[in-house]
Amino acid sequence: MKKGIALLGFAALCLAPGAGAQTLLSNLSLSGSVTASITSVDYRYTKHLRSGSGRAGGVHSVYYSWDPHTDEQTNTSLAMILNGSSGTASATGTFYAPTYSATASGTTSVSNLATSASFTTTYNASTTINTPSVAHERVTANTQANSTFYFTLTASADVTVTATGSANGALALYGQLDEGVGVILSLSGAGTTTATLGPGSYWIVSSTGCNALQDTQLNTSLNLGTTDAGYAFTVTFSKHSGGDSGGD
């Protein structure tokens, strides 16, 4: 009799809610990168000799111009991975001590249960340029963070996307529609949007970035000082109780 009770208890455990249940998301993968780059060119006032014409070479003349003297470049790029990644790049000029830097980073986290799941991405992209006006220099700084998150929904789910931060940030969720593969929902900058998705394969493409430029030689500037394009978003999935539904 004790043996029968034990087997009954084991069967009840196997059938208990959550026991061996399939997670709401499967086939998770991530691709993308964070990149930061700096390029600077210093100009020097250079003396030139211009040869004259004629049989004897003519009279030499002298003229001066601002010419590139040094060229400095720093680039860093790292692949995005599901447990986070970061990349930085910085450089220091050699003419009148300008300062400039670029930093890009990205982190991700995933929670995945049978009835709910979430995916969170946080990007940071920033540039700093502070070049004295007396410097004859061109400095460009660029940062970019982007990734694509692939997943399969094992059951219908209500999806909510909430994004905060820079207006440069953007994301789009792709999947199978009646007319073929297309965008199901998208966000530019901060905001919230929702959809109901049926079982199937989907992917989320997201990115942010910023750039800065100061060319004291040509009196051209863009985004001087520090520009921050921090961007974060969370995608939450809740198992849909009304049966399977396709994307909106």
Distance separating alpha carbons of residues 210 and 126, to the nearest angstrom: 7
- Banded model confidence at residue 8, pLDDT cuts 50, 70, 90: very low
3-class DSSP assignment, residue 227: strand
* Domain limits, the chain: 21-43+70-239
Taking only the tens place, the pLDDT of each residue in 104-161 is 999 999 999 999 999 999 999 999 888 776 678 888 999 999 999 999 999 999 999 9
In this prediction the pTM is: 0.78
Taking only the tens place, the pLDDT of each residue in 15-63 is 334 445 799 999 999 999 999 998 888 888 898 988 766 665 566 789 9
Distance separating alpha carbons of residues 183 and 43, to the nearest angstrom: 48
Chain centre to alpha carbon of residue 119: 15
**How does DSSP assign 145-205, residue by residue?**
EEEEEEEEESS-EEEEEEEEE-TT-EEEEEEEETTEEEEEEEEESSEEEEEEE-SEEEEEE
Note the pLDDT of residue 2: 36
How far from 6 is each of 3, 64, 120, 141, CA to CA, in Å?
A: 5, 97, 43, 69
Distance separating alpha carbons of residues 171 and 184, to the nearest angstrom: 11
The letter for the amino acid at 15 is L
Distance separating alpha carbons of residues 220 and 2, to the nearest angstrom: 87
Note the pLDDT of residue 101: 87
Note the pLDDT of residue 20: 57
